[in-house]
Amino acid sequence: MHSKQEPQPTTREAARYAWGDLVSVPSLLSLSRVPLAVLFVFVVRDPTWAVLVLALAGLSDVLDGWWARRFNQCTAIGALVDGATDKILVLCVAWSLWHAQLLSLQETLMLGVRDAGEVLVTLWVSLRRDQHALHEEQRANTLGKLTTFLQFTATILAILRLRHFELCVATAVAGAITAVSYARRSVRA
């Protein structure tokens, strides 16, 4: 649900947003997660379709970063779109799983700890109007990738109606640590 693959510009000059970058291949791959998120709402009760939609969303998340790095198309707008579409996907998937009674409210909230923390950090950095720190916060790290893996795994288990509570707890813990690491990185930037 959430894997930040794109490396970010490291200088203030490179951190400028160019809206034309919205039509780059990495941005379009990221944007493909929005219709997939909406589709998930309608297929959540069908395990085969739900897992397929999640797999496509995960593939788009891996491919957007790979393409951006491989073809030197890492952009500020690409990082913004990647993060925003990740949040939309997490929100739609979590709400759908809760609404379909595949996750309890507590489990749903646990899966979103990292994402909620990231939104708070992004708002805080945005209020400071520090674009460089915003890019530092958006860069992937190992903890973020671990949290994404745990989110996906817990989600798949919930869709398949298998035991998932402990994995939701692990996701919440990893997500909280990840959010703190993003906040610390933003402060240092």
Write the pLDDT tens digit of every residue in 92-111. Answer: 999 999 999 999 999 999 99
pLDDT of residue 15: 57
Neighbours of 94 (CB within 10 A): 22
Spell out the residues 6+ positions from residue 147 whose beta carbon is closer than 8 angstroms to its own: 2, 114, 171, 174, 175, 178
Over residues 48-98, the pLDDT tens digits come to: 999 999 999 999 999 999 999 999 999 989 988 998 999 999 999 999 999
- Give CA–CA dist 136/63, Å, rounded: 21
CA 47 to chain centre: 22
Residue written as token pair 């708070």: 120
Instruction: Give the span between the Cα atoms of 22 and 120, in whole angstroms.
Output: 24
Mean local confidence (pLDDT), 34-60: 98
Segment 14-23, tens digit of pLDDT: 457 888 899 9
- pTM of the prediction? 0.84
pLDDT digits 0-9 by tens, 131-168: 555 555 456 789 999 999 999 999 999 999 999 999 99
Residue 187, pLDDT > 90, answer no
Q: What is the mean pLDDT of residues 40-53?
A: 98
Is residue 3 classed as helix, strand or coil in its secondary structure? coil
Please give the CATH architecture assigned to the domain spanning 13-188.
Answer: Up-down Bundle (1.20)
Q: Is the pLDDT of residue 10 over 50?
A: no
Q: Whole-angstrom Cα distance, residue 41 to residue 50?
A: 9
Higher pLDDT, residue 29 or 123: 29
Question: For residues 90 and 115, what is the distance between their CA atoms, to the nearest angstrom?
Answer: 8
Q: Tokens 């073809």 appear where?
A: 71
Cα 71 to Cα 77: distance, rounded to the nearest angstrom? 16
Q: Is the pLDDT reported for residue 180 higher than 80?
A: yes
Site of tokens 């919440």: 172
Helix residue spans in the chain (DSSP H): 25-31, 33-43, 47-70, 76-99, 105-111, 113-128, 131-138, 142-159, 165-188
